Structures are given as C-alpha cells and as structure tokens.
Structure 1
Amino acid sequence: MASGVFLLFLLLSSSGSAPPPPPPRVSFLLNSADRPLVHFTAPGIYNTTTLLLSTDASTLYVGAKNAILSLNVSQHDIISLKNKVEWSPSPREINDCENKGKDPTVDCPNFVRVLQPLNSTHLYACGSHAYSPQDAYIEVDGLSLVKQRSGVKVRCPFNPFQRNTALSISGELFTATMSDFRGVRPTISRHFSKDGRPDVSQDSSVSLLEEPVFVGSALDSSERKLYFFFSEVGKEFSYTNELRVARVAQVCKDDVGGLRTLQKKWTSFAKASLLCQPPRQLPYSVLQDVFTLPPPEGSTASDTLFYGIFSSQWSSGSDSAVCVFRLQDVRSVFSGGYRSFDSQTHSWSPLQGKHTYLGQCGLEEFADPDLAQVKKSFLTSSAVQPVGNVPVLVSMGQSYSRVAAMTTQAVSGKQYTVLFLLTESGFLHKVVLSDRGPRLIEEIQVFAQVQQVKSIVLSSSKGVLYVGTCSGVTAVPVAHCASYRTCSQCVLARDPLCGWSRTKKICSRPSSGTSNMSQDVESGNVGRECQGQTGAAPRPGQDFLLRQRQNRKHDPSFTLH
C-alpha cells in the first residue's frame, strides 16, 4: 500500500495546474512612510503573543513573558501602556524547572498562554510557569492579580511553545491543550461549569486524539456546540502511521457525561476530517490556523465561515492553501454516518445500522450499551468539504502561519472578502477574493526576524489588525488609501477598502452613503473610472511603489483552482 501511495504522489505532483498570477502590486518594508504602522515595545517586555481585545475595542490585553499588560488602543496613531502586572516564577521554581532538564531562560519563565474574559470585572489567565502551569484571576480595573493557584494541569500546556486554544462562554472555560509534563496527553475540557453541572473532560480510556496540534476553537451558539480545530495523526489510514490529517472536533456546551458510562466525560465528542485539496493534487492536510467569520447581518448562523490555512505534508517547499468551510456543512457531517473502532484489529470500519444519537447532545440518561457505542464510534464517515470543493487560494513558495478575514462592501454595493495572511518571513499579505480569483493587493513587513510564536487579532469595526510578536505589538490598519496618490493608482489597486473621491481628489475609505467615487475591484479599468481626473498614471510595467525585496527569498505567487 505504501508503494501505491508513493506512485500516486508522483502522478499528482506531475499533473498540471493553472499558472500563478503576478506577485503583489505593492510591497512595504518595515516602517515605510507610505504604510505607517503603530508599534508598542517596552523594556523588559517579551513574547507579547497572547492577545485579547476588549468588547469596546479600546483596550488590548496582552499575555507576555512573566507579565500581563493592558494597552490603550483607543487612538489610531498610538498604543500606550495602561497597566502591567508581574507574574513570574520564584527562583526556587526556576531551579526545579532546570532540575527537570529544562533551559532556565528559554523554557522556565511564565509564558501566559490563556487570557479570556470571565465576566465584566475579571479575566482568567493561565501560564506555563516554569513547566508547572498556574492560573490566576485578573481584576480588569487596575489590572491586579487577585487570586493565583498552582497545580493547574489541564487548562494550558506545560511546554510554552505547544499550541493550545481556549474559549470563555458566559463564565465557563473550554480548553484544548496538552495536560502533562511530557506534552503527550491531549485533553479537551470544560471548567468553572455553571448551573450545578460538573466539569467535563474527554474519556482517557480510548485514544480520541492522536498527537494533535490545536490551532483554534469556535462556538455554534444556536446549537450550543463548540468546535475545536487541530491536526493529528490519522490512525484510520492503515498503510502509514505518520499521515497528518486536519480535523474539527465537536462537543456540546452543556454536556454533563453519562450516569455510569462516561461519567463526567463528553458523551457528545466526535471528530471529522477537513478536506483541502486542489484538483489533481494531494491534499493540504496540516492545519496551521483558523479564523471564524460571522455571517452577514440578516443571515443565519449556519452561514458562518471558517477560513483555514493548510500546509502540505508531502511538499518539501513552503506551500500553503486557504480553504473555507461553512458551518452548515460541518453540522451535516456530524449528523451523518460514523466509523467504529475495533480494539481487536485496531482498525476503523463503517458503522452499520442506525445510531442517530451519535454526535448529539443530551445523552446523559442514555443506556450503557449506547454510551459504549459512543466510546468507539466518534469518527465521522465523511469529511467536511470546503466551499466550492476547492481551495480559494494556493500559494507557492509562501508559508502562511496566521489568518484573519473580514467582509466589506465595495462602491458598487458588492460584498468582498479580504484576507490577511501572516507569513513566516514577517510579512502580512492582504488578499481580496474576487470573481476573477484571489488578488494579492499588498504586502506589509510587520516584523524583521523570523519568529515561531505570534498571533493576530482583527477589529473589523476599527479597521485595525493587531499582530503580537516576540518583541511587541504592532497595529496594522486594514487599509491606507492615502498611499495611492492618483486616481490611476487608487483604481489599479482594486482594493474594495479604497476608492477615488472625484470631488476631494483623494483616495479614501468608502463609507455608507458615499457617492461620486471611482473604484473597480474586478477589472481596475482606469480609462473608465478616472476619465477627467488629473494625475499621471504609472508608467507601463511599473508600479507606483518599487517592490523592495533585496536579500530575501520571495515568491508570493498563488492560484485559484
């Protein structure tokens, strides 16, 4: 079987694909005057990589190395420090960490890995704390640490560099993390349970998860379910033990476990594969990040979209793909057929007969035989297919690590999706998904050195993307239309967030009720849109800004399949 897979890989690798479009039209190096960014750094502040934006988008809470910060982001041109609380391991705890074989300066500080709101007055935080996780309650007013506890083993990882995800809902905390010192025991759990319910975690008597790397989570409020996104080893493929598979797992928010079987364990746990595969190619099977885009106003929750970044286990290069999944399709897969695991043969097979209760909520009083079936039948038969059944974007030569997405209305009234993709080399790519395919409008350098740990938070209402890096926080406006100084430049940008005002003679953000603006997202027709407007168009074959890419490998080409 393994040789057949290798042959398939050779065949698919040699198959043709659509030629890539040109690289980004404009590129801005770090601190370019034409694409101003707002930075926050402070002496002694490092690893500012866990970000939480307040409901009113005026305060950015930051989990850092040995500290938690609150930053004032109410102004568009400055980020200032409001408060800081120190949260460091003691010298004795650092020494104990070192005695366990860890580097005292790299592994043993307290890296804050979970930062979530508990209520209107307090935040919850969990840190790696010298490889012995601790959690704390943080009072928002004044940012003071009011309660600290040790021995927390299932809310954030021991290893500060392992991925994890957490979500707070009405004061209850849902986490997916590695729960042991070695970092090999994954668990999805509910904490601070309300209404008399017990805390619930996953059943450890069976292998529900196989070496997972968690990347995100989301709430389906209308069905009271949560979804956790990750990659893991696909044990259902008998011909290899190392095939990585992208997954989504579900649990019911109010699950309480069974009466005898699965006591205080999820009875609703199920997982499904996420398929992201270009035509005639092997799947992009390693999920790097996921972003939840709420449905447009007036639409139902089932139209919620999940934008995922995928990499290829089969490629030796830095290729990435973006696939989009609709919530309704995720729901349908979990409502369909399941596979059953045979502990004797260690193999998966389609489950025969009707078992409509699998993957459903409210199983706390079901009979033991039914819950025994739940324990071994938690993998769906079908994979979740992406919208359109193909990736919306395939990037050759770029390794994307984080994604955010927003929708905006163009001057024509048409809705467009704008993606913000963070590369491993420190650039943010802004991509518009149009009828003619994805278009890379611009790339912006947001940090200078390659970094492993980073995060992004998008405020669509403010029009700002916050990037947390090892050295500080950077605010990136989603558009800087003033960079386009003529009508030709503005229209050629084909950016739905920018249009040329015929009356003011400037390129600016369209607003509701805007009239007499020139914009053409699909074609960039300067002759039609800029007729009668002054200003010299760019010389043929030359963009108005030079792409400065000296001394770095760069090939940001991508295709729509």
Structure 2
Amino acid sequence: MKTHSLLSLTVTLLGFLSQCLTRLTPRVSFPMGSPGRHLTRFNSHDVSNTTTLLLSEGGDMLYVGARDALLALDVSHKDAIILKTKRDWSPSDKDVEQCSMKGKKMADCPNFIRVLQYLNASHIYACGTFAFSPRCTYVDSETLSMSINPDEGRGRCPYDPYQRNTAIIVDGELYTGTVADYRGNRPVISRHLSEGRRVDLKLDDTLGWLEDPTFISSSFIPDEEKIYFFFSEVGREYDFINKFIVSRVSQICMSDIGGQRTLQRRWTTFAKAQLLCQADNELPYNVIQDIDTLPPAKGASADDTLFYGIFTSQWSVNSGQSAVCSFRLSDIKSVFSGNYKVLNRDTLQWSTRVQEKVANPGECGLHNASDNALRFVKENFLTDDSVRPVGRSLTMVSAEHKYSHLTVQRIQAANSRDYTVLFLLTESGYLHKAVLLPSGAHIIEEVKVFAQTQPIKSLKLSIPKVNTERAIYSMCPV
C-alpha cells in the first residue's frame, strides 16, 4: 500500500487536561476509522517510497519526492488530498543497467528523490539518487517542469537510497550533510550554489572531522547567521572496546568563505559538540533519531530557541525505549565558546589539556586569519564540554513505544496559557500527541494511522490560520 495521510486535530483537549495524569499512557485512543479523528488519504498505485516532503509556507501545497517521480498535492481541503501535478524523473535504461553492473540491486537503481528545498519564490531545488549517480535539478513550483541539464549531485544527495541525509537552502545557497562517494565512505558537510565572490565549501577530510556519521537534520538560526547540523557518529574521543555512538550538533558560519592559503575552499568555522541526552546516574540515550526546532516565544531572545530530539540507546538495558530531550540554543553557544579537545596528529587520540588559544574555533570571520590560526581551528574542532538537556533532565521516556520522528509546536490553550505539544510517531505506525506540563509529559491522545503495522518515514506539521493543526506524514511500504 502506498499512501499519504492528512490528519485534522483540534487543540480542545488541552482545556480538559487533568493534573492527576502521571503515566505515559494515552488518555484517549482513536482506532482506525474513528469518527473522532478523521483521516484523509491520498492513494496512487504507481507512487511509492514517498519519504521526502516539502510543505508550502501557506500549508496548502505539499510537494512529495518519491521513486522516479515528483508530486504536487493540494492539501488545502478538509476532506480531500488532490493531485495537482505529477512529474516523472527517472533514469534511463542505460543508467539502470550501469547501476546493476556495478553490483547494485535493481530495486535500488531507480531515482529516489532525497532533497526538496525552496530555492526562491518560483522554484524548488530537487536532488535524487538517480541509479547511484546523484543528480539535481531546478523545478518550477507551479508546473513541476525541470531544467533540461541537471546538475551533478555529488555531495548534495546520497548515492544510496538507504542513507540518511539533510539539506537546507538559505539565501539561495544549499547546505548539505551527506556522503560524497559511491561507496559511502566520504561523509561531508558542504555548501553549494554559491555565486559571485562566494565559493562552494566543504570539510577538510584529512583529519576525520566526521566519523561514519548518520545525518539527521539541519537548522538555520537567522540571528546567529549559522547553520546547525545534527547527526550521530562514532565517538573517537572514547577509548572503548566497542564503537561508542554519540549524538552531535555541529555548526558553520554562513559568512565563511574559506582560508586564503590554509583551508582554501574548506570550512574555517566548523565545530562539533556532543549532545548528551542522559539522566543522572543512568546510561545515556546516545543515538539521535530525529530533531525539530521550536522558535522562541514572541518577544523572547533567539537564545531561547529549543531543539527537541528523539534518542534511543545502543545499550541492551535500554533496548526498545525512547527518550525525548530538549536543548537550548544558549547552552549550545556556551559549549562552542568554551574549551576544545586536542587531537594528537601522530596517534589520532583526543586529550584534554590547557593550551594557549591561537584562535577561537567556531568563530565567524576567520577568512583573514593567519595560517597558524587556521591550522589551530583545523585541529581543534571538538568541544571539551557536552551540551546537556534543559534542566539537565529528560523531557520524557517511553518504555512502551519506540519513537522514530517528532515535530513540536507551541500553542495557546483555552486558559490563555502557552503549552508545548509534541507529535510523535511510533515505529508501529501510531501518532502520539503529548503535552508538556510542569508535572511532566502526558500523552493526551494516540491515533492509529494504518490498519496494518508499518513504519512512517516523514512527518510535517501544517499550522493554518484557523485553530487546528494538520499532521502530514508519509509511509514507505515494507
């Protein structure tokens, strides 16, 4: 079954919340077909692998990146999702044959669209795996017509449809986290589509700035003029027998244009820190699964921006459990402005020792810095401290459900107070709506999305002008 669903949810339940709720058991459960939670679906027999979603600013048009196709769906109607336009974008028979000759399964050789971002008011930038030879194209947002000559997609889109990636366009430039080679051994964070005096940039890959990462998300903070990337990777700073996975936040400055001699066409502002989702005296939930940004309340400082993430654990004692942690931008900035670990270039071992700072790693405006300063930031890019969650505690923990995706919203309830609401997808295909109260997190409702248990791969929250939300999600069939 291939399907898209649009869920209309009201916020009236917040007015009836009881402080006596203490367990993470849904207060109300809506089975399939329940009139209390009407599901509107879009079905098409020739559309599959719909894992990349782009919602228009007004929330009335949903662009869907699928296998060998790009769709524009009108989601402005309450009881219908209407296919406005569909554009095929598939490799030639020769492309597929070459992909197969390289040892890849035929099922993995179509074009899986993995990047969809607004380039400007009239065009979308799209990238696909294209038979393990990634390509990108400019798409007219009204007609879905594509540029005749596609761009080379290396470093912009993964080769493998199963590899996670992230992409964001800011001021016409594309910032990506993906792999830049066929075998998937060269992870890179890079900038593309730069014009004029701006140059495309990527990481210097001589010192292992990234260690087998799984990219999760990226976020632009306008007041900071920085892009933050979220991912998990092997923590080389830990000397364990087994590979220890850590969750990271990294940052780059949009003003970065590389060094004049050292780090030419390379980031001079890349820095990374560990995100520590951990309760006192317990093992950490160390593997990030998804993250969403909650902008500050009206009138508040940008430093109050919050990032809510889902984390799981590689440890068997926490197997099957999920935790949600939130991180404040001010805490992330504080860690990046602190001390950094030192990498021994001979042993490639990290250590913590007091040293004279030749430059401040992660600081914007280093393009005119001396070669000595740039060598310093090149080798000192891992912060000494970790970013700890708000309140140094977990937002919520679920032993019953393993969550895969989330989105977050701040809403005003009937009592005129603001509440933070999380929309969480379980791996078994349920949507949970949780509200965060001073007494803890409470799941106020769950909705069964599909009759048969199956994973949901994407989630977007549309907030129309009326006092309702719409959760839009995509299922990739097993």
Q: TM-score, normalised by structure 2?
A: 0.92
Question: Residue deviations 1:125-154, cap 9 Å, x none?
Answer: 000011111111101121111234264211
Query: How far apart, in 2, do the equivalents of 1:416 and 1:294 lie?
Result: 13
Q: Answer with 1 or 2: which has the greater Rg.
A: 1
Indicate the SS of the match to 1:306: strand
One-letter code of the match for 2:47?
Answer: I
Query: How far apart, in 2, do the equivalents of 1:230 and 1:454 lie?
Result: 17
Q: Which residue of 2 aligns with 1:414?
A: 417
Query: How far apart, in 2, do the equivalents of 1:365 and 1:422 lie?
Result: 46
Task: Say which of 449, 452, 459 aligns to 1:456.
Answer: 459
Indicate the SS of the match to 2:85: strand
One-letter code of the match for 1:32?
Answer: S
Q: Which residue of 1 aligns with 2:117?
A: 116
Which region of structure 1 is more displaced relative to structure 2, 64-73 or 195-204? 195-204
Q: Which residue of 2 aligns with 1:7?
A: none
**1:361 Cα offset (Å):** 0.8
Query: How far apart, in 1, do the equivalents of 2:111 and 2:24 lie?
Result: 44
Indicate the SS of the match to 1:245: strand
Matching of residues 375-386 of structure 1 within 5 Å: 375-386=378-389
Task: Say which of 367, 370, 383 aligns to 1:367.
Answer: 370
Task: Say which of 98, 101, 109 aligns to 1:96.
Answer: 98
Q: Which residue of 2 aligns with 1:467?
A: 473
Q: Which has the higher contact order (CA 8 A, sep 6+)?
A: 2
**1:215 Cα offset (Å):** 0.5
Once superposed, what is the RMSD of the aligned Cα atoms? Answer: 1.7
Q: Which residue of 2 aligns with 1:557?
A: none
1:348 aligns with 2:350: yes
Indicate the SS of the match to 2:150: strand
Q: Which residue of 2 aligns with 1:297?
A: 298
One-letter code of the match for 2:351?
Answer: S
Q: Which residue of 2 aligns with 1:279?
A: 280
1:392 aligns with 2:395: yes
Whether contact under 8 Å (2:125, 2:139) holds in the other structure is: yes
Query: How far apart, in 1, do the equivalents of 2:359 and 2:445 lie?
Result: 49
**1:76 Cα offset (Å):** 2.0
Question: Residue deviations 1:71-116, cap 9 Å, x none?
Answer: 10111221100001100111111111111111112x1111000000
Q: Which residue of 2 aligns with 1:164?
A: 165
Query: How far apart, in 2, do the equivalents of 1:451 and 1:211 lie?
Result: 28
Query: How far apart, in 2, do the equivalents of 1:20 and 1:211 lie?
Result: 40
1:138 aligns with 2:144: no
Whether contact under 8 Å (1:270, 1:378) holds in the other structure is: yes
Task: Say which of 44, 47, 52 aligns to 1:50.
Answer: 52
Whether contact under 8 Å (2:405, 2:424) holds in the other structure is: yes
Q: Which residue of 2 aligns with 1:21?
A: 23
One-letter code of the match for 1:405?
Answer: V
Question: Residue deviations 1:152-208, cap 9 Å, x none?
Answer: 211010011111000011211100001111112100000111442110001011100
Query: How far apart, in 2, do the equivalents of 1:148 and 1:395 lie?
Result: 49
Query: How far apart, in 2, do the equivalents of 1:113 and 1:389 lie?
Result: 35
Query: How far apart, in 1, do the equivalents of 2:143 and 2:348 lie?
Result: 55
Q: Which residue of 1 aligns with 2:75?
A: 73
Question: Residue deviations 1:13-33, cap 9 Å, x none?
Answer: xxxxxx972521222223322
Unaligned runs of 5+ in 2: 1-20
Which region of structure 1 is more displaced relative to structure 2, 300-309 or 453-462? 453-462
Which region of structure 1 is more displaced relative to structure 2, 313-322 or 154-163? 313-322
One-letter code of the match for 1:378?
Answer: F
**1:449 Cα offset (Å):** 4.7
1:433 aligns with 2:436: yes
Query: How far apart, in 2, do the equivalents of 1:147 and 1:55 lie?
Result: 27
Indicate the SS of the match to 1:433: strand
Q: 1:430 to 1:112 in 2, by over 3 A?
A: same
Indicate the SS of the match to 1:145: coil
Question: Residue deviations 1:535-561, cap 9 Å, x none?
Answer: xxxxxxxxxxxxxxxxxxxxxxxxxxx
**1:397 Cα offset (Å):** 2.8
Q: TM-score, normalised by structure 1?
A: 0.78
Identity %: 49
Indicate the SS of the match to 1:144: coil
Indicate the SS of the match to 1:98: helix
Query: How far apart, in 1, do the equivalents of 2:242 and 2:174 lie?
Result: 33
One-letter code of the match for 1:258?
Answer: G
Query: How far apart, in 1, do the equivalents of 2:461 and 2:95 lie?
Result: 36
1:331 aligns with 2:333: yes
Q: 1:348 to 1:186 in 2, by over 3 A?
A: same
Whether contact under 8 Å (1:41, 1:471) holds in the other structure is: no
Query: How far apart, in 1, do the equivalents of 2:365 and 2:352 lie?
Result: 24
Query: How far apart, in 2, do the equivalents of 1:147 and 1:155 lie?
Result: 19
Q: 1:413 to 1:256 in 2, by over 3 A?
A: same
Unaligned runs of 5+ in 1: 1-18, 473-561
Q: Which residue of 2 aligns with 1:545?
A: none
Query: How far apart, in 1, do the equivalents of 2:437 and 2:380 lie?
Result: 41
Query: How far apart, in 2, do the equivalents of 1:451 and 1:267 lie?
Result: 43
One-letter code of the match for 1:413?
Answer: S
Question: Residue deviations 1:428-479, cap 9 Å, x none?
Answer: 111111111111111111234555661111123351111011269xxxxxxx
**1:57 Cα offset (Å):** 1.3
Whether contact under 8 Å (1:406, 1:460) holds in the other structure is: no
Whether contact under 8 Å (1:338, 1:379) holds in the other structure is: yes
Q: How many residues align?
A: 453
